[in-house]
């Protein structure tokens, strides 16, 4: 294929006429397609339906250590659930607290506690003149929403194929005491699907922050979300690396079963050092007497152990893999060689990250919407919704049916082509 930039103005206009005719045909169909968020499909949700049957009115709801899941108590969560999530997160059981259904909720609360009461005796952030967070970009929009909600200044850190640019991270963290945290999705990152390299993790563990209350917010949301059995990214465990480096308290690690069992009814966890967990418990006891132990037990009885989770995730992969491959195939077939966009083929996670020509992302998303395809808003993968290059678009293949996805991918590439031609013609 000839790159669009090598075509003459006349050739571009002729190409545009043909593409506009195709677009008009698609638009006339009145489609309603949604590729805006990484929601599991109904087919994926059905995989966990037997979980609804593992407990009933005649079930034994007493835990291994004698705790009655129907009653109050158990601030940390039941022992079996701690073991299950600890094994999934690759940490010791004693370094885990189990929460409710959402790790996002846990992250919000963790920031909120730091704002109102500080971290392990440090000055509460609300009393400081300035608080900043480092934000690897493109990144997870809901992370950025939390810090924006609390008025925390967000500083962009560019992502490389090995993870965040650690030269930038090391310099900023060591020089600026107002930097209190960094958001990380270290495995199959949202949206690029990048897994942090060994060196990146080592450098994180060996950071020398200018302030004692700096924390790495390590959101390992996709730790078991592989697409392939024979090709899987490996991520070094951060908690043990921090401990080895003499920085045991520097990381909060988050995870959940939201995209493993039911997104609205999973269980979430935080893993951290003993000192961090004591700090969290000391404040958590005022907030709750304990989270939903019946749901924790339901998860344990259904999955049994981490091997049960691994086998379950293979079923998810069988549903997700063809969807990812279908989108990648359309991108490669329709856009390969045109030099109007680039993308990463991930080995896991929930997203495909697409980089359009500079200044085109918003127009592409708007064009797709015109044809009935709703996508994640352009700019959402950057703090404050501002992509300085207006180029990154997050593609979420999980929710549509395979048939809908094929149509959605065609609409997307058509939109990319039309907007790119307008850019080259000077119409944008």
Contacts of 286 (CB under 8 A, 6+ apart): none
Q: What confidence category does residue 43 fall into, taking pLDDT thresholds of 50, 70 and 90?
A: very high
Burial (CB count <10 Å: 0-12, 13-18, 19+), residue 298: buried
pLDDT of amino acid 242: 98
pLDDT tens digits for range 138-158: 999 999 999 999 999 999 999
User: Which residues, 6+ apart, have CB-to-CB distance to 406 below 8 Å?
Assistant: 326, 330
Query: Who contacts 387 (Cβ-Cβ below 8 Å, separation ≥6)?
Result: 138, 361, 378, 379, 381
Domains within the chain, CATH numbers bracketed:
4-44+310-425 (3.90.1150.10), 69-303 (3.40.640.10)
What does the buried/exposed string (b/e) look like for 254-285 if buried means 16 or more CB atoms within 10 Å of the residue's CB? bbbbbbbbbbebbbbbbbbbeebbebbeeebe
Mean pLDDT of 178-207: 98
Confidence of residue 277 (pLDDT cuts 50, 70, 90): very high
The pTM (predicted TM-score) of the whole model is 0.97
For residue 354, pLDDT over 90 is answered with: yes
Residue 427 has a pLDDT of: 84
Residue 1: pLDDT band (50, 70, 90) is confident
Segment 392-404 shows an average pLDDT of 94
pLDDT bracket for residue 428 (50, 70, 90)? confident
pLDDT exceeds 90 at position 396: yes
Q: Confidence band (pLDDT; 50, 70, 90) for 211?
A: very high
Q: What is the pLDDT of residue 275?
A: 98
Q: What is the dihedral of CA 111, 112, 118, 120, to 10 degrees?
A: -60
């Amino acid at each position: 294929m000839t790159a669009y930039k090598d075509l003459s103005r006349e050739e571009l206009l002729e190409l545009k006429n043909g593409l506009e005719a195709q677009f008009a045909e698609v638009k006339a169909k009145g489609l309603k397609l949604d590729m805006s968020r990484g929601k599991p499909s109904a087919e994926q949700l059905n995989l966990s339906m037997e979980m609804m049957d593992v407990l009933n009115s005649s079930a034994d709801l007493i835990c291994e250590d004698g705790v009655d899941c129907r009653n109050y108590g158990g601030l940390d969560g039941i022992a079996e659930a701690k073991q299950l999530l600890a094994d999934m997160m690759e940490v010791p059981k004693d370094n885990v607290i189990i929460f409710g259904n959402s790790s996002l909720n846990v992250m919000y609360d963790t920031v909120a506690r730091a704002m109102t009461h500080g971290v392990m005796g440090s000055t509460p952030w609300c009393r400081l003149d300035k608080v900043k967070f480092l934000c690897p970009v493109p990144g997870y929009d809901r992370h950025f929403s939390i810090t924006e909600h609390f008025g925390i200044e967000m500083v962009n850190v560019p992502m490389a194929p090995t993870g965040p640019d650690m030269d930038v991270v090391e310099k900023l963290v060591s020089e600026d005491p107002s930097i209190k945290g960094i958001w990380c999705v270290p495995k199959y990152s949202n949206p690029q699907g990048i897994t942090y390299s060994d060196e990146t993790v080592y450098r994180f563990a060996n950071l020398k922050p200018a302030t004692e209350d700096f924390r790495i917010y390590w959101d390992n949301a996709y730790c078991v979300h592989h697409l392939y059995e024979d090709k899987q990214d490996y991520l070094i465990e951060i908690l043990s690396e921090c401990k080895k480096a003499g920085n045991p308290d520097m990381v909060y690690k988050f995870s959940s079963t939201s995209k493993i069992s039911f997104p609205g009814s999973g269980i979430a966890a935080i893993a951290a050092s003993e000192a961090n967990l004591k700090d969290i418990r000391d404040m958590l006891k005022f907030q709750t007497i304990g989270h939903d132990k019946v749901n924790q037990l339901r998860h344990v009885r259904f999955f049994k152990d981490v091997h049960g989770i691994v086998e379950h995730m293979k079923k998810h992969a069988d549903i997700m893999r063809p969807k990812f491959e279908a989108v990648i195939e359309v991108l490669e077939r329709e856009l390969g060689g045109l030099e109007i966009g680039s993308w990463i083929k991930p080995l896991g996670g929930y997203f495909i990250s697409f980089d359009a020509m500079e200044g085109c992302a918003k127009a592409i998303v708007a064009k797709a919407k015109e044809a009935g395809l709703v996508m994640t808003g352009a700019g959402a993968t950057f703090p404050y919704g501002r992509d300085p290059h207006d180029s990154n678009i997050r593609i979420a293949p999980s929710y549509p049916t395979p048939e809908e996805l094929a149509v959605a991918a065609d609409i997307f590439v058509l939109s990319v082509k039309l907007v790119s031609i307008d850019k080259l013609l000077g119409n944008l």
